[in-house]
Amino acid sequence: MFICLECIGDPMLKGFKSLPKSEVTCTACNSSTRRAVHPARIARFIRKHLPTHFSVDDGLYDGYEMSLAEVVSRAIRCNNSVVCEAIAQKMVSSRVREDDFYWQGQVYCVKRSPFDDEEHERWWIVGDWQDIAYELSHERRFFSDKARKFFESLLHEALSAERPCSPGTPAVIKTLLSGTKLYRARVAANPTEVQHFKSNPLAELGAPPLDRAKIIG
């Protein structure tokens, strides 16, 4: 079974790379496409995130509980119940305790959020960045005080972040030994493109093209 990226509403999941080599049929919309993934792959991707946004329902509000397939449907923004059920089946287990998130037959509710709605949450997370990106692309490009301060605080935070489970270990920044080899990667659509990249690595693996490199405001 496959589901095409058009039938998934979540923008992160739409970005899946390394897709099937030949066309497959989407179970939800029946179209033939290479831009599709197996339910197991979506399950692997969302599995650790679902308990952040949903919790096991304690039966306080009878009738409002959701099945795991319904949780999946909300998380990936796909209304096809066959697909969502298939993804859910890849995550449930009958061998865990009854209070485990993925216990077979578990029911769920949405976790309380400090935000009014999804739009509010998104704005809180990306609002600062969008402000800076707009200023850099449309206003003061080189002498933006706001941008300088933003990057300063971002780098400061990144440099001082430590792993909660092992204090003293950097959580974001990785210091490499001098002389470490770095590789530039580029996704190729097919073997012909691989050969094309190999034939002229200087140009094909150089800086990204201008239209892709610039900041979208």
- The smaller minimum CB distance to Zn ion, of residues 28 and 147, is found at 28
Bridge partners (DSSP) of residue 70 are: none
| Cα separation, 207 vs 151, whole angstroms | 22
Shortest approach of Zn ion to residue 72 CB, angstroms? 16
Q: Does 26 bind Zn ion (CB under 5 A)?
A: yes
Please report how many Cα atoms fall inside a 13 Å half-sphere around the Cα of residue 135, on the Cβ side: 15
Shortest approach of Zn ion to residue 194 CB, angstroms? 28
Q: Does 72 bind Zn ion (CB under 5 A)?
A: no
Q: Is the dihedral of CA 146, 148, 149, 151 positive or negative?
A: positive
Shortest approach of Zn ion to residue 60 CB, angstroms? 36
Shortest approach of Zn ion to residue 87 CB, angstroms? 14
Bridge partners (DSSP) of residue 25 are: 32
| Cα separation, 148 vs 142, whole angstroms | 9
Shortest approach of Zn ion to residue 31 CB, angstroms? 6
Q: Does 4 bind Zn ion (CB under 5 A)?
A: yes
Please report how many Cα atoms fall inside a 13 Å half-sphere around the Cα of residue 202, on the Cβ side: 0
Q: Does 7 bind Zn ion (CB under 5 A)?
A: yes
In the range 118-177, which residues lie near Zn ion by CB under 5 A? none
- The smaller minimum CB distance to Zn ion, of residues 26 and 76, is found at 26
Pair type for strands 54-56 and 108-110: antiparallel
| Cα separation, 80 vs 216, whole angstroms | 32
Q: Does 29 bind Zn ion (CB under 5 A)?
A: yes
The size of the interface with Zn ion (CB under 5 A), counted in residues, is 5
Binding site for Zn ion (CB under 5 A): 4, 7, 26, 28-29
